[in-house]
């Protein structure tokens, strides 16, 4: 009987999938897979290659390795060959097990640490603050909880069905919402980060602040006093980013909020001023407005001015309809705070508010790492320069996530962390961002993937584009919510889909379909020929594709 350790299973169904995959391998006479134990017990024909077993498990979406306990010799040398095969690229110079140091514990760091451990490396993970990084603690998770609560409050106050379903002003108990939000954050941090690290014997967690001593070692100032030197064969930098604070006279002397303080605040201020015009600014501005604040956004240009102009226009119209004041081409030249009130001096007069949220982007957490000692280069904003393999300018040092020149999304960070781990072990994994979807969780949502018309032109590609307003989409019509549009950008002549921009309710749920279509090299004609379920918002992609050859206003509601 031969045993493999299986990771990645989350239920009994996963165990079934692994068993079925193993049973298809020539030479496997029987396979028993246990989800609780994370093992596969196999009866094999002589000389059945372990590579075939591991490959079959990998193809099914899981990982297999030979347990350390199976180190004893066997008559056919199976385990020696298995360990040799699994350990290829995992050894440092001198034959020792590869030692990987990971600085950080967020999405990129965790993905890299776990992948490195799976590949047989010894990992030292160094975290100076709270385990889990930005996303679970002070970013994606708490913000989406707050946004959802605000959405529910908004619908109770106002919806397209008020004539038939009575509306009422909701009572907002912010302290209870905050407790609910924090409980879920704590649950996810423990379940997806802390407990996983505690259950990974190949990963050692060091709590402290790391800096490079040279290109092969780190000095860690420990949280519990003292220092520790960590020598490594490979190192991954995954230190994330923090809220950027603009240099506005007087601002530093005031109790302004960044997103971190805003999400943790137990108050809903009567008046909230927001400096910023991109993702964090608009998401939190609308959430606070729906929870009861009178919100004013100061946009230096317009909302989402770097995106297709129609996106900013559609979102601005939606905000103003809800009572959110959007001041375009407006900048604060001075900020003061006295008597519990902020006073912002702007090019359009003074603005007064009880609270001020500054949401003008995020700055990479790279200061204090002593990157110069390791030969790691950064750009003008302090972001670590990496290539598509997550390699930095220094041999054996990699970086991933928000501290790099990559887009600041947690799913990009996690994908980069996994690929970095593969490459640190001698592999060749690149991160392709050509079809990277992005979502802004406002209402309506903003979702994009691929190239905009402007980006395509800059790349020298001639385009043919169509924009479909949502009054042509049956799902939007029956929802009585036709705010927004779907825009398809195609290559002129071939019709190859290059990009999609959407402003719509639940736009984030349709954008992945567009991403897959772009990744597959589909044309708008291919997209128009696909079957889309009726009534769904994703059907808008088919309808928008049909506009390249038809007038959809002249089609029946579910015309193929």
- Residues taking part in catalysis: 9, 11, 14, 62, 135, 140, 557-558
| CB-CB neighbours of 215 under 10 Å | 15
Q: Which of 95, 88, 91 is nearest to 54 (CA)?
A: 88
Alpha-helical regions (H) of 190-296: 195-198, 259-264, 279-290
* Displacement of CA 175 from its chain's centroid (Å): 28
Could you tell me if 518 and 449 are in contact, meaning their C-beta atoms sit under 8 angstroms apart?
yes
71 marked as binding residue: no
SS3 content of the chain, % helix, strand, coil (to 5): 35, 25, 40
State whether the Cα torsion 66-72-77-83 is positive or negative: positive
Cα–Cα separations (whole angstroms), residue 419 to 34, 215, 400, 423, 430: 28, 21, 9, 6, 7
230 marked as binding residue: no
Q: Kind of pairing, strands 325-327 and 294-298?
A: parallel
302 marked as binding residue: no
538 marked as binding residue: no
280 marked as binding residue: yes
Could you tell me if 106 and 240 are in contact, meaning their C-beta atoms sit under 8 angstroms apart?
yes
Could you tell me if 394 and 86 are in contact, meaning their C-beta atoms sit under 8 angstroms apart?
no
| Strands of the 397-399 sheet, one edge to the other | 227-231, 217-222, 203-214, 122-127, 99-103, 234-237, 397-399
Could you give the CA distance from residue 238 to residue 404 in angstroms, rounded to a whole number? 8
- Structure tokens of 405? 């020149």
Could you give the CA distance from residue 470 to residue 102 in angstroms, rounded to a whole number? 46
Q: Which of 334, 288, 281, 285 is nearest to 305 (CA)?
A: 281
Residues 6+ apart with CB under 8 A from 240: 104, 106, 133, 134, 364, 365, 401, 402, 403
415 marked as binding residue: no
Q: Which of 238, 242, 285, 282 is nearest to 260 (CA)?
A: 242
Residues 6+ apart with CB under 8 A from 310: 467, 485, 487, 501, 503
- Structure tokens of 56? 């079959």
529 marked as binding residue: no
* Displacement of CA 238 from its chain's centroid (Å): 14
Q: Identify any residues that bridge with 491 across adjacent strands, giving them in sequence order.
A: 463
283 marked as binding residue: yes
276 marked as binding residue: yes
- Structure tokens of 161? 């069905």
322 marked as binding residue: no
Could you tell me if 419 and 390 are in contact, meaning their C-beta atoms sit under 8 angstroms apart?
yes
281 marked as binding residue: yes
Could you give the CA distance from residue 33 to residue 343 in angstroms, rounded to a whole number? 65
- Structure tokens of 76? 């056919």
Looking at the chain, how many residues does it have? 560
Helix (H, G, I), strand (E, B) or coil at 474: helix
Binding region for FAD: 144, 402
Instruction: Mark the binding-site residues, compressed into ranges.
Output: 144, 276-283, 361, 402
Q: Which residues are annotated as a binding site for NAD(+)?
A: 276-283, 361
């Amino acid at each position: 009987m031969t045993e493999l350790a299986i990771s990645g299973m989350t239920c009994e169904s996963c165990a079934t999938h692994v068993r079925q995959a193993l049973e298809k391998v020539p030479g496997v006479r029987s396979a028993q897979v246990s989800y609780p134990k994370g093992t596969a017990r196999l009866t094999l024909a002589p000389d059945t290659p372990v590579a075939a077993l591991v490959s079959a498990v990998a193809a099914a979406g899981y990982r297999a390795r030979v347990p350390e306990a199976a180190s004893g010799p066997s008559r056919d040398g199976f385990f020696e060959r298995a360990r040799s095969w699994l350990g290829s690229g995992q050894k440092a110079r001198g034959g020792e097990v590869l030692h990987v140091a990971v600085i950080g514990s967020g999405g990129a760091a965790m993905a890299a640490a776990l992948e490195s451990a799976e590949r047989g490396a010894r990992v030292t993970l160094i975290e100076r603050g709270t385990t889990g990084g930005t996303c679970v603690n002070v970013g994606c998770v708490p913000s989406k909880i707050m946004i959802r609560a605000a959405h529910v409050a908004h619908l109770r106050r106002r919806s397209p069905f008020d004539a038939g379903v009575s509306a009422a002003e909701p009572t907002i108990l912010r302290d209870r919402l905050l407790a609910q939000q924090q409980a879920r954050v704590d649950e996810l941090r423990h379940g997806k980060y802390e407990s996983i690290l505690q259950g990974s014997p190949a990963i050692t967690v060091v709590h402290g602040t790391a800096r490079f001593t040279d290109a092969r070692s780190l000095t860690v100032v420990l949280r519990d006093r003292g220092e520790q030197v960590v020598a490594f064969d490979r190192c991954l930098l995954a230190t994330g980013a923090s809220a950027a604070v603009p240099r506005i006279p007087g601002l530093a002397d005031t109790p302004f909020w960044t997103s971190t303080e805003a999400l943790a605040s137990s108050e809903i201020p009567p008046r909230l001023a927001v400096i910023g015009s991109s993702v964090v600014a608009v998401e939190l501005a609308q959430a606070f407005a729906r929870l009861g604040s009178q919100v004013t956004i100061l946009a230096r240009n317009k909302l989402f001015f770097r995106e297709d102009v129609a996106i900013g226009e559609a979102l601005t119209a939606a905000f103003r309809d809800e009572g959110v004041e959007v001041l375009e081409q407006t900048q604060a030249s001075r900020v003061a705070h006295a008597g519990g009130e902020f006073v912002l001096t702007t090019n359009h007069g003074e603005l007064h508010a009880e609270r001020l949220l500054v949401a003008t982007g995020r700055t990479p957490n790279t200061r204090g790492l002593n990157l110069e000692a390791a030969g790691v280069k950064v750009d003008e904003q302090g972001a670590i320069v990496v290539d598509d393999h997550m390699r930095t300018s220094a041999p054996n040092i990699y970086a991933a996530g928000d501290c790099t020149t990559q887009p600041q999304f947690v799913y990009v960070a996690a994908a980069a962390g996994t690929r970095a781990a593969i490459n640190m072990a001698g592999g060749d994994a690149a991160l392709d961002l050509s079809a990277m979807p992005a979502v802004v969780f406002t209402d309506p949502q903003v979702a994009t993937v691929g190239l905009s018309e402007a980006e395509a032109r800059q790349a020298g590609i001639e385009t043919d584009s169509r924009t479909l307003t949502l009054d042509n989409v049956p799902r939007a019509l029956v929802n009585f919510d036709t705010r927004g549009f779907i825009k398809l950008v195609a290559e002129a002549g071939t019709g190859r889909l290059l990009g999609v921009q959407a402003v719509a309710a639940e736009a984030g749920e349709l954008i992945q379909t567009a991403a897959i279509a772009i990744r597959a090299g589909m044309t708008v004609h291919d997209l128009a020929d696909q079957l889309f379920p009726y009534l769904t918002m994703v059907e808008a992609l088919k309808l928008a594709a049909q506009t390249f050859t038809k007038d959809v206003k002249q089609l029946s509601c579910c015309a193929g």
